[in-house]
Amino acid sequence: MDLFSQGRCCIGKVVKSNSHCDYVVQVDDAQDVVTPPCPEDCGFGQFVSFDNDSRHWAVGLVYNSQLFNPLFSNLGPRLSSEPDPLFTPDLVQETRTLLGVVLVGTLEGKGEAAYGVHGIPRVVVPANTSVYKLSPADVYRFHLNQEGRSQFSYYSHLLRSGGLFAAQLAQQVLAELVESELFSGVDQKALMVLGKELSWKNTLGAIR
């Protein structure tokens, strides 16, 4: 697909959804791929894209993470040593990293003409769809509308659907957009004002 930058980093695959815009992604590890993603590729506030061979499905933001380890609640006999991956491959693969991702829109168009459509995508993302880290260039294009002007229209949706850390997530996204200097002039000032307003609301809420 020529919609995105080349050489993208695949983070993992969709394993379930909690709602129409809240998906759970299982991160690839060394048992799945030769080169698994590093922790920074799937951190809090990372923009990701849901894609398969046939189409682009959605753009999302990592808002939560969870370590899944069923052995933690196992009250049966314990092994005297670490399990050997050769003889207990299923046991080794039971420990996984899961990401909570909130969908915030889609990317339309191709190449330099690509632009973002913000909001809740209408379609359901299929299970096992691959999830990729968005490059800075793709993040920039996602924040442009069809006329090439900056946009941050998923702001209110993110505050409602971004989990327990929604306000911190929105604040971090705004701060990173400002620091990236991808925008300039009036657009950059608008992002800075919005970031300061949200920071003030978070501070005031903490005092209360």
Which pLDDT belongs to residue 190?
Answer: 86
Which pLDDT belongs to residue 81?
Answer: 58
pLDDT in tens, 172-201: 999 998 888 888 888 888 888 888 888 877
Provide the sign of the torsion angle of the four alpha carbons 184, 190, 196, 199, taken in this order: negative
Distance CA 47, CA 182 (A): 15
- The closest of 94, 116, 98 to 107, measured between CA atoms, is 116
Which pLDDT belongs to residue 134?
Answer: 94
Distance CA 191, CA 151 (A): 9
Give percent of the chain with pLDDT exceeding 90: 47
Which pLDDT belongs to residue 194?
Answer: 85
The predicted model gives 160-167 an average pLDDT of: 88
Distances 138 to 33, 92, 110, 114, 184 between C-alpha atoms, Å: 24, 35, 11, 8, 17
Q: Is the pLDDT of residue 56 over 90?
A: yes
Distance CA 59, CA 101 (A): 9
pTM, entire model: 0.83
Distance CA 64, CA 85 (A): 29
